[in-house]
Structure 1
């Protein structure tokens, strides 16, 4: 039997995601039969909200994903997927199917539909969805409908000023996709695919989310967030205005002043116990596995071991003892309105990877977790000159090329989500929702570097950005600054003898995702190439690469460092062409992480002011640029 093309596989997989909450029937109108391989699944009932933070949910989801992944042929995989769709939980099904599509070798080149078009209810306020439904019933079915998305909250709440960031579709979709590429319960022994430095990547990706959020807060004259250290303190209120298509119930709002409360599965005291055990391991410098063996938390592998423990991934050395601090924290916060299930409410948005970034407490929770990681990092000596330098290489100048020299302009732009494939409006023309999101003008980095040696050098260029001033207008100290450094790009170059001009487009960032193909484009086969590189949908949205800045032009540090690629590169990264769209935050799926240095280098360790001379080496440059927000902008010149 001839091998199916990528386009054919794409067309056969996409219908599995269409109307994900509806059941399917075979061509005879009968329910499909359940294969023995699917026995024991369907424990989480349909109509309940699936959460990969909840251990029981996740175990069933991974079991189903493994059944899909281990199917011997593509046809068997499809058959199993159609059978499972009829009786497993709707959200769990989409999660497991997505994991399988990304990890089956015979699905190379196949793209997942945008999660925001599979479950738009996780991204679009219920008022907007209701308006879309109403317009679909009164408008000519041959005419396309576009409704404006409602805003949530108002200026009476200071947090409303950064709602554009928290509720951005792109970053919430990124978070969902990241947990699809790196499921915490992933078992490499079963799947045969190892997730290199998965624990460290969990730490770094979320650390960057926190740094970016604080940059947005400072851009809007808000103070940096306060970590959620005290598990008994009252929480701020939040209402997402989301309602689930799966059961019709709203995601629970959270009234101001509520505190974490014990649940049937987990108590607040247990969460505190997990925290103390992890903090104790950091102070001791080792963790204890299930056999009583002590495993050193060294500078090479310690952060990876610690990340697995905090997330409570399959690789955690002792899940029973160190628990599931990260995941149970999400669950407790999501259940704060109805912890004992008395009122049968949906949980809050913290329960779902596709919605949790909307809630301000998400960032405070992850800043607390990041404090644990930073406590661990503080055990190691600050980087010395030998670890930072690149002998023979000097950065002569760094500039931003845009409409205005060394100024990047931001603005709000429009985009649409097609909700037609989630809700059956019974009309041929699409129904779409128009959204507004922060964006920035395209720009180039212009870096001039000198190679003073006679031989060609292979180099890594590392680019970071951080504000110059804090919320009070004071210049940020180096130790404060490093935790606000957001990675903008990392790429390799060849430096020939003499002067080298390096130009790099912001569109090519190693952090951001390329444009996502819509549900309709995938169904129609647009842009599908037989030998194209695999696309994982994981990555930071390009439109949020740059913080908002302010009207006057907010000052930022643009830090550029050139390091020795021969020292930093890992193996033959890049040759397999697998999911390399946003390697800084998402790695290269099923390959080694493409950088030998610790993630976030050189800002992952303490910077001592008395040793600042080591941060003025020839292979480093720090340039002050401005980010200026425009309330109005011309369409021309902006993507």
Structure 2
């Protein structure tokens, strides 16, 4: 009997089955081959599945927060505080419903989901918050607006919230207040207030928490705008252990001023400047933090050193000395910062060459009026306080008074309403030059921020003008030093020579600079990105470390403690022509002041360049601290000139300078210490934080702080037996060294000079983890 042929439908079914079997078999074979060839991908996928399953379980909830938990408020400032925190995004705040802004109260499920993946949840106490007390804040400073503490109205808000945090009786209390404030008000302003509170907190446990450095959580202040797209791409596509650092390119212009990018864009120059103004606020703060001894004089000295070093860099790059600001003329140079304000998602406004301030009529009129008043004060010889009392202008004390007057310090100016606000008003109005009557509703310019103001060439025009005003006082009221009476307090001590030697070099008085790259973890400032570290690679000026050597003879019969003062003086202008002696004196660069003990007879005094009282150890800021005392020191001892900028860059053929050394009596010159002193790092520019004394009783910049006596035509005319001079040369080696190994804690590679000036290679500086 013939077999029955399969129907059409059966044929179709059989065909489909065969194809399916073949596809499954092929898939299995391909899968096996893939797993064999790519075992890590298979493991990674399994791990991800297990992690997703784990997130369905309830995370651990703390019994209570610790002071260290305050640091999570600094993470990703543009994200709401209930988003995942920490480098690994595995910590969350359990925010009380009452704290949430109205829009999030109707999205509680989403808020809870946002913290579901956390391995640790910090319980935020629910307290009654004084919303009425701060009802005006968002009108004065909208949530997404750019913030700068250099604007007095904004600084006043910072102070209000600092007082609010300072009312806390416990860590739990301050955490609750900070979380609530961070949700409702401008995050940058709140974090500024929180930092201020943590530095000044009456709670020891809070002062023992390491406060992050600005570049770590607000990197937009220090990188270019294109950095963020590259960093986010790296973070979203590459796993944390394999991400490459993203290079920060700040040499972005083609104008002649752009060759100075390494100086004006140096991140720690701006961090230092910002910290100085935190420690010495321009008013609007409690008087105990503003009315500090010699504050006005230190303001003069700090900004003169800025201007001196800027001029030195200009000369080595073929540019003339900086000109003083003239508000009646167009601004000679524009500036385009190529920065972005992440919190407000706006770019930072630039300024064209030739912009003018003349449309700002009230500003120009006030500026002229206040300078005329200052000149009248110099003629009459006294200032008059608001209560009608008068104070004669005498020596350095008078300089301190007129400095506070010219700055426009609302707390320590003799009469702010009358004498005005020359310095601060220039900074406040310079950003308006691009849009004087606010037609285009542009955001704040770079000169609006203390954190970035010195990026703009006009910053130095302002401070050249200010220094001209200070110099008028010095010429009229400071008597020149006489050689015997003022400059030779130690007749039994003779300084026969001074020299410098680069470590490892044979030839003395030859110094060298180069560029160094440093990797810094900026992941906590990259909002809405995956977990893990992301490094920014900065390029900055560096020098090979060197040692000073002084030959000193003491005819005394017992040991004598002395102060050693070191300066670097410019010799040539941008064309190689000799500089005027008074210019060299006025814009001398202070390198160090330190004490040494001389034995009877001949002495050799040596001092490492990295020990300078001008600079700080920039690595110590980022290294993991071992104990509470070290952390407290890290927080307070961060104000000082960057070590990498200790020397001017010099030129390829070598730029000549003169090194001046002076030895004075320690017992006469040293100020008493205060029990509240924490450290004296970087004290030449920053003073001693917590002290009621500047360490040196002499005028800041002594003996070059005032015009020379009549008849002095060369530096050798000024030399006394306790002074010595040497010709030195700074040569720029046009090379860029790769980053060093990672510092302890993984936040950064080294910012400090190394003995050899060379590293083991680019690969050693590539961060992993």
What is the TM-score with the length of structure 1 in the denominator?
0.92
Shift of 1:29: 5.4
* Local SS of the residue matching 2:590: strand
* Local SS of the residue matching 2:226: helix
Shift of 1:331: 1.6
Question: Would the aligned equivalents of 1:95 and 1:180 in 2 still touch at CA under 8 Å?
Answer: no
Question: Would the aligned equivalents of 1:249 and 1:345 in 2 still touch at CA under 8 Å?
Answer: no
- In structure 2, relative to structure 1, the CA distance for the partners of 1:438 and 1:232 (3 Å cut) is same
Residue 250 (structure 2) pairs with residue 151 (structure 1): yes
Question: Would the aligned equivalents of 1:142 and 1:428 in 2 still touch at CA under 8 Å?
Answer: no
State the partner residue of 2:685: 585
State the partner residue of 1:303: 399
- In structure 2, relative to structure 1, the CA distance for the partners of 1:104 and 1:61 (3 Å cut) is same
Alignment match of 2:658 (pick from 543, 550, 557): 557
Question: Would the aligned equivalents of 2:677 and 2:690 in 1 still touch at CA under 8 Å?
Answer: no
Moved more, 299-308 or 89-98: 89-98
Task: Answer with 1 or 2: which has the greater Rg.
Answer: 2
Shift of 1:283: 3.1
**Structural mapping, 1:374-389, within 5 Å:** 374-379=471-476, 380-385=478-483, 386-389=485-488
Alignment match of 2:265 (pick from 158, 162, 167): 167
**Structural mapping, 1:365-444, within 5 Å:** 365-379=462-476, 380-385=478-483, 386-389=485-488, 390-402=490-502, 403=505, 404-444=507-547
State the partner residue of 1:22: 79
Alignment match of 1:486 (pick from 573, 586, 589): 589
State the partner residue of 1:281: 377
- In structure 2, relative to structure 1, the CA distance for the partners of 1:228 and 1:169 (3 Å cut) is same
Alignment match of 1:102 (pick from 178, 183, 199): 199
Shift of 1:493: 1.2
Shift of 1:599: 1.1
Over the residues paired in the alignment, what is the CA RMSD in angstroms? 2.4
1:70, 1:603 → 2: CA distance? 46
Q: Show structure 1 runs of 5+ residues with no match.
A: 1-7
State the partner residue of 1:338: 435
Shift of 1:614: 6.0
Question: Would the aligned equivalents of 1:9 and 1:110 in 2 still touch at CA under 8 Å?
Answer: no
- In structure 2, relative to structure 1, the CA distance for the partners of 1:19 and 1:634 (3 Å cut) is closer
Shift of 1:16: 2.3
Shift of 1:501: 1.3
1:185, 1:627 → 2: CA distance? 40
**More helix by percentage:** 2
Residue 733 (structure 2) pairs with residue 630 (structure 1): yes
Question: Would the aligned equivalents of 2:79 and 2:528 in 1 still touch at CA under 8 Å?
Answer: no
- In structure 2, relative to structure 1, the CA distance for the partners of 1:192 and 1:515 (3 Å cut) is closer
What is the TM-score with the length of structure 2 in the denominator?
0.77
With a CA cutoff of 8 Å and minimum separation of 6, indicate the structure with the bigger relative contact order: 1
State the partner residue of 1:539: 640
Residue 704 (structure 2) pairs with residue 603 (structure 1): yes
State the partner residue of 1:350: 447
Question: Would the aligned equivalents of 1:194 and 1:590 in 2 still touch at CA under 8 Å?
Answer: no
1:34, 1:320 → 2: CA distance? 39
Shift of 1:619: 0.7
Give the total of aligned pairs: 623
Residue 293 (structure 2) pairs with residue 196 (structure 1): yes
State the partner residue of 1:5: none
Moved more, 66-75 or 167-176: 66-75
- In structure 2, relative to structure 1, the CA distance for the partners of 1:446 and 1:378 (3 Å cut) is same
* Local SS of the residue matching 2:349: coil
Question: Would the aligned equivalents of 1:24 and 1:31 in 2 still touch at CA under 8 Å?
Answer: no
Alignment match of 1:13 (pick from 61, 64, 70): 70
Give CA-to-partner distance per residue, 1:164-187, whole Å, 9 cap, x none: 110111101111111111111264
State the partner residue of 2:559: 456
1:566, 1:38 → 2: CA distance? 56
Alignment match of 2:220 (pick from 114, 121, 137): 121
Question: Would the aligned equivalents of 2:217 and 2:524 in 1 still touch at CA under 8 Å?
Answer: yes
Give CA-to-partner distance per residue, 1:297-348, whole Å, 9 cap, x none: 2113112112212222221111101122211111211121223333221121
